[in-house]
Amino acid sequence: MIDIFIPKKYCQDIFHINYKKLKENDYKLIIFDLDNTIGSIKENSCSQKNKEFLNSLKSDFKIIIVSNSGKKRVSNFLKDVQCDYFYFSLKPTLRVLRTIKKKYKIDYKEMVVVGDQIVTDVFWGNRKNVLTILVDPIKNIDFKVTTFNRKLERFINKKNNIKRGNYYEEK
Ligand SMILES: [Mg+2]
């Protein structure tokens, strides 16, 4: 069984997530992936639109960015975004997820992970039964290190009958 690779929800992008419902269901902290979730790998800084959007969520949730990219990439991208962030996080290892639990004194069941990759973001959150939301990559261009993950993802999605573009219905 590879249930651990199945996202709890699958949305087109970060704007299509039902945040109202997340709040109603007592989720308190949202972890966003960076590359291809809040910015393409061609963007060096967060767009105004996404910056404002992330800021707007802050009244309801603690917002944290967790990226496997290095310090320079992540700190440059987020320099005008007032969010806590973790770089070189080695997702899907649990180190940073455990740190977040401790640092923000929050249970895994109150967290949400939003990301574009099955084998890092979704698998990572599912390992601790965090609510995982898969989004489509902003652009179909990845850093080289992601190429293998994408191959694995296509294989896993085929096994799990997950088709990119078949989004979960939000009621
Ligand atoms: Mg990503």
CATH number of the CATH domain containing 110: 3.40.50.1000
Domain membership flag for residue 166? no
Domain membership flag for residue 170? no
Q: What's the pLDDT tens digit per position in 25-79?
A: 999 999 999 999 999 999 999 999 999 999 999 999 999 999 999 999 999 999 9
Domain membership flag for residue 21? yes
Q: What is the CA(1)–ligand 1 centre distance, in A?
A: 24
Q: What is the CA(106)–ligand 1 centre distance, in A?
A: 24
> What residues sit around ligand 1, an ion, with C-beta below 5 angstroms?
33, 35-36, 116
Are the CB atoms for 38 and 50 separated by under 8 Å?
yes
Distant-in-sequence, close-in-space partners of 66: CB < 8 Å, separation ≥ 6: 31, 32, 33, 34, 85, 86, 89, 91, 96, 100
Match 């080695």 to its residue by tokens.
90
CA 96 to chain centre: 13
**Count of the separate structural domains present in the chain:** 1
Q: What is the pLDDT of residue 170?
A: 61
* Residue 2, pLDDT above cutoff 90: no
Supply the DSSP symbol for 26: T
Q: What is the pLDDT of residue 141?
A: 87
Interatomic CA distance for residues 93 and 96, integer angstroms? 8
Domain membership flag for residue 111? yes
Q: What is the CA(92)–ligand 1 centre distance, in A?
A: 12
Domain membership flag for residue 7? yes
Amino acid, res. 75? S
Supply the DSSP symbol for 95: H
Q: What is the CA(25)–ligand 1 centre distance, in A?
A: 26
Q: What is the CA(102)–ligand 1 centre distance, in A?
A: 24
Percent helix, strand, coil in the chain, to 5, is 40, 15, 45
Domain membership flag for residue 167? no
Strand locations in 82-143 (E): 84-86, 111-115, 131-135
Interatomic CA distance for residues 33 and 30, integer angstroms? 10
Domain membership flag for residue 128? yes
Q: What is the CA(141)–ligand 1 centre distance, in A?
A: 11
Q: What's the pLDDT tens digit per position in 87-146?
A: 999 999 999 999 999 999 999 999 999 999 999 999 999 999 999 999 999 998 888 889
Domain membership flag for residue 168? no
Q: What is the pLDDT of residue 169?
A: 65
